[in-house]
Structure 1
């Protein structure tokens, strides 16, 4: 039985102290959350720990953990994984390392990069933050203004058009020009480690205005054209072509749409590994921290946030928010530490949505669903519904990082990053799924 989308609510952990980030632009208060019952497997409690584990005790593996370590020592040598693997397993309650293999070696992490992006966005903007799209009127022109909502739909624009048309008609106006203003972000550029081949399939040029997730060169004009059609359908004549423009100082708002809360958007981004949402969030996070909406400033804010949480940035190099950059390098240890942070009940108010958004093994519609051939081999089928993990896939790089409850009843956080294997990608993913099942203990 698959775990629910609201799955993990850690409780009862005693952990080492981490510094809490100082306010960036807003007053981000990372309060201690009241533990909430509920786990991946609907068990009574998660991350239960009755006492602080001493430094000496933390180095001792229980029999189930020793079995994990022994099995991973063998299974990490799987020829499908090649010779370049960074991996680690830690106990969530005590933070002791259960197993490691080149855990601090920085490799290309692919979409595991999104975990840092999500952490920064939730911290700087807050989980309740919403992105606003506006329509403003001035001097015969209706301007659609992008506010960084990568989830805007045709239905949303249609509702905005209805509201705008009602106001226009009340003012006796029956025709307008339509402009789009996406000046919140600078003109799109390629990140370090990107190439033109990413457009339009892997990602669209990053703009502040887009509708239906369309992958076109100018998503702002595309959205403006959808908006213009909706205005026409409501009986207002649109004159001329939709063009770029900038809102005038005297323009009057006539319609507004607000997105779902950031918490929901983060979960969507992680569940399906949406590159476009990730890059938009990177820019909005930079703006929220008082910086410019660029790759450089966005990634700088991610580093600042992680560093203030106490995450080691040794060998940590990122150039985008999605993980498409082939120049990104992150160790498995750092990925595991980010997940450990997100699962910490003290930060639940802000970061629990990262854990909630992780795909579940066997969950249709996620990147770990059967449609992607995940957790469907003899080695890994036993872990269906028992593992939550973020996937990552680029040519030459495949990653899987998440958490599961092991045979000792304790939650384990794992990260496996593989680079440069010559095996078929599907075979590499099967091997990584087997490693996750090994941590769970069902493939013993």
Structure 2
């Protein structure tokens, strides 16, 4: 083998030496692995950066779970930028998937595709069309003008949530890959929904774990008005896209709201954590005798009252009350006063954002359900829910059972609830199932 320094020396000599240098350059260009300037781990510009997994870490991917954790990575080739697409291989070089790289997150990559396809505008068009087709029956059956179009990993688009309210598409981009592909996503949405406006609501703290800043604003078209009115199951609801919770409304509870109606006819109902009145509206539609909507946010209560008026419900104080109160304190006051209800609806916000918060969340759920049981009349109904994905249905059921013991009441589970049909769960991604609920008879 000819040493590299011979080439350097030859450049300083006569014409014959320059000819020798040219020959040597050709030799090293043909065999780059034998020369110092061409390193074996330097990828060509046209090549995709790659992740190689530790041995045995490919099992979940072979079952099509879309996450790769940092501890499962053996090595990387190339230097992918934040959110860039990478090829994913087994430890011995067998190709597995294409994913989005996230150097700041413990979920180091999220899979876009288990097929060798380009991640581009056409890819997103197909994913969006498939998601729309999946929901078509539900949209038409329930006459929906507000629904979840994209449910992130469950629709093969990790970190991307999109809700449709009339002609507004509201996006949450919660992963580095989603941010990296933003323009391709926007272009794809406009191909499928050419008349729609697109607004971003990526004002979620989890973006910091991805190395991203929170962001909101118009991505295409017009700024949303203060109120966009949608309809579900014959109920009209005003949605504040810019300032409301999540993307504006809790679409995932649509089916539970509908199912709650059969428990409320002629009943005194307490709707806790009422937000803009979702469950309360359905209770009024279901001919409840009286509905008290309790929430700590006065603007949310004002919206709840407007929603009741929008549906032309009787909102005299004999029929509907909108009470600004801390629910925990309110329940204790009702208990101490001996105030009783026929139905209590308990739909609190997420109590656990991380595993470290789960124990505290369990205590919170137990306490609040215990208090609800204590203010129910014998034979009353507790409709209780948890949207904490870290709390599975079995754990939630145990918490309700423990609450019953502490409340000194006999409780029977009579019905189970889950997220609405436009929030599907892929069998390969059980984390997509997060909302669970029970109808309980309190003896």
- Which structure shows the bigger proportion of residues in strand conformation? 2
Normalised TM-score (structure 2): 0.24
Max radius of gyration: which structure? Answer: 2
